[in-house]
Amino acid sequence: MPTVLFADEVFLKGAGTISGKIVEQTETTVMVDIGSGVMGVPMSHVDRIVKGRSPLDDYAERAGRLGPQDTDGWRKLGGWASQQGLSVQSREAYRKVLDLAPNDPEANDAMGFVLLDGRWVPEEEAYRARGYVKFDGEWMTPAEAQRFRDSEAADQARQDAGQRARMTETERMLAETRAAKTAERAADQQAREREEARWTQPVYWGGWGYGVNSWPSAPVGNDRPAGSTP
């Protein structure tokens, strides 16, 4: 059966440790509350577990001593939890403060609220009310956002132009290569045609006169007309 343990050191096989508070452990898995959430680790990856006291234990103990109306106590606990890296617990404590004192500056600031016209509102609402826009994850004026857009557009245009130039140069080189190969094949063909023509031209023989003679079209053999003498 799963058991609830108070431990904060889970040593992994090979290297590394996980610090927090073990909230559940079975034969196959150990669940560790690390402050910002609970993560499960297969027991096959665990080398050993060392039980000890973690900031989560301190938070639970401190919260248990506070009364439901102790605004100052919850505020101090929220600040302490934030310093310990316990973001979930810090927000939990500050939320209790806001339940008691909705206009508390520290708690509102910690929860991400901004004072706008006497009201604490979410940061996004405050920025939009002031005319800001969110660009690339940051709040800025519309003019600033437009300058960034123009700069990005110019950068993209330069990149596109460079890409087109490279493609044009590549196409030019390919065209030159194709033209050179075509010229080479044409020159080879002309050379072959000249060689063939040289061997098939008629031969002029000198003697009593000049006439055009050609080599016999068939080899001379022993087949002679009847009655002829050699």
- Dist. CA 116–CA 123, nearest whole Å: 9
Position 145: which residue type? A
Which residues face 33 on adjacent strands? 21, 38
Predicted TM-score (pTM) above 0.95: no
Q: What residues contact 160, with CB distance under 8 A and at least 6 apart?
A: none
Who's near 11: CB < 8 A, 6+ residues apart? 17, 46, 47, 48, 49, 50
Please tell me the distance from the alpha carbon of residue 166 to that of residue 79, in angstroms, as a whole number. 58
Residue 229 token pair: 């003498």
Query: Mean pLDDT of residues grouped by 10 in the chain (230 residues)?
Result: 52 86 86 85 89 82 93 96 90 95 94 89 84 83 84 85 87 89 89 81 54 52 53
Residues 6+ apart with CB under 8 A from 144: 135
* Class of 56-122 in CATH: mainly alpha
The full 3-state SS of 162-205, as one line of letters, equals: HHHHHHHHHHHHHHHHHHHHHHHHHHHHHHHHHHHHHHHCCEEE
Backbone angles phi, psi at 88, to 5 degrees: -65, -45
Domain parsing of the chain, residue ranges: 9-53, 56-122, 131-193
